Amino acid sequence: MLRVGVTGGIGSGKSTVSHRLAELGAHVVDADAVARAVVEPGEPTLQRIRERFGEGVIRADGSLDRAGLAAIVFPDRDALDALDAITGPAIASRVAERRAAAPLDGVSVYDMPLLVERGLWVHEHLTVVVETDVETRVRRLVEQRGLPEEDARHRVAAQATDEQRRAVADVVLDNSGSPDELERAVDELWATRLQPYAVNLVSGTRSRRPHLAADCVVAPRTDWEARAERVVARLAAALAPTGVVTEVSHVGSTSVPGLLAKDVIDVQVGVRLLADVDRDDVRADFAGAGYVFHHGIHSDTPHPEGADPSAWLKQFLGGCDPGNHVHVHVREHGSAGWRFAILFRDWLRHEPVERDAYAAEKRRLLALHDTTSDYVVAKEPWFEGAWQRSNAWAERTGWRPR
């Protein structure tokens, strides 16, 4: 199933977004609702809160005085951390139970205020951030929830900043307009990205870039690095339990600032042994993260010409997200292919003249070839010379792969 995390600062309107997604057919789990459920009378979590914060946070009827507890923890970082340590495991367990009930071919939405703060976004296929300016959020909390303004500001300050949320957001929904505008934005997101992504996951279909080279290669985009960082973090988290991965890194043209490129994020996954990729658990974790093996690509072109092809073997996967085209190159750590992917990136980053020469070659070939497949093949002769020059640069500068 497609896993979508929905988050935003308190008062931002994320619950409105989640409610609309539920109307459209998503299976929604609300972290706040779960958090209330695990502290109901009789729950072991409530007893632990009583022991840590005292009888003053328990009402006469045995229920939790949520407002009283909030007044203690939100101004005090240590107290808030202590509360999180008590409630976090119980909430996580209950959330996992409820999300497991979602249909396998559907969309599972996790409405979670602290998705960013707790680093949980790495386990979602997509992170949707609902954004509203701080003053509007404070006003909503005062007018709609009846909170004192000082309390409202304490709660806002205790959460991640807008900048921190944007850094991990695949989608930012602006809720500064009317409710109708927000609903239309959610509907468009559902139709153009969430539903197609869910279908791709079920069918094992990777998203495709445009077939025409002129539509595929674009001017440098400012979001490439941020998109790549999210891909790298999610893959690293998904594959960590396998124990076979040495590193995950952004490579290829989109990793070089200022270089025109296909709007595709290339990521290299280094593994101890390439054969480990055929393990059932490794393949399952790739699939669970949203990546599909392409069985027609098993190696890169060896360099220099005539080199041993076995040093250039790899496994290739494509991402299922229609809103972010991703290619994953799995290579054995220390192999010639693994080394060149990192060297080529670092060389172009440090040598603007070579970067510009590569850009000029791309433009020349784009004028000669219509399809992306022909364009990619036509670049190979240039790469032979690039391999020679980049290795000379590495020797001259003492470069080593990090």
Q: C-alpha 26: how far from its chain's center?
A: 20
DSSP 305-322: TT--GGGGB-EEEEE--T
Tell me if 178 is assigned to a ligand binding site: no
Angle between helices 280-289 and 224-239 (to 10 degrees): 140
Tell me if 398 is assigned to a ligand binding site: no
Nearest Cα neighbor of 109 from 171, 158, 163 is 171
To which residue do tokens 């290339």 refer?
Answer: 266
Tell me if 16 is assigned to a ligand binding site: yes
Tell me if 14 is assigned to a ligand binding site: yes
H-state helical runs in 240-328:
280-289
CA distance 77 to 74: 7
Among left, alpha and beta (phi > 0; psi -120 to 50; other), residue 180 is alpha
Tell me if 63 is assigned to a ligand binding site: no
Judged by DSSP in three states, 124 sits in coil
Nearest Cα neighbor of 201 from 66, 338, 311, 108 is 108
Spatial neighbors of 334 by CB under 8 A, at least 6 apart, are none
Kind and range of the H or E run holding 251: strand 245-251
Tokens of 278: 């055929």
CB distance 130 to 173 below 8 Å: yes
Burial of 254 (0-12, 13-18, 19+ CB in 10 A): buried
CA distance 304 to 290: 34
Kind and range of the H or E run holding 318: strand 315-319
CB distance 212 to 247 below 8 Å: no
Torsion angle, alpha carbons of 147, 150, 151, 155, to 10: 120
Judged by DSSP in three states, 168 sits in helix
Torsion angle, alpha carbons of 253, 258, 260, 261, to 10: 30
Tell me if 87 is assigned to a ligand binding site: no
For the annotated binding site for ATP, the residues are 11-16
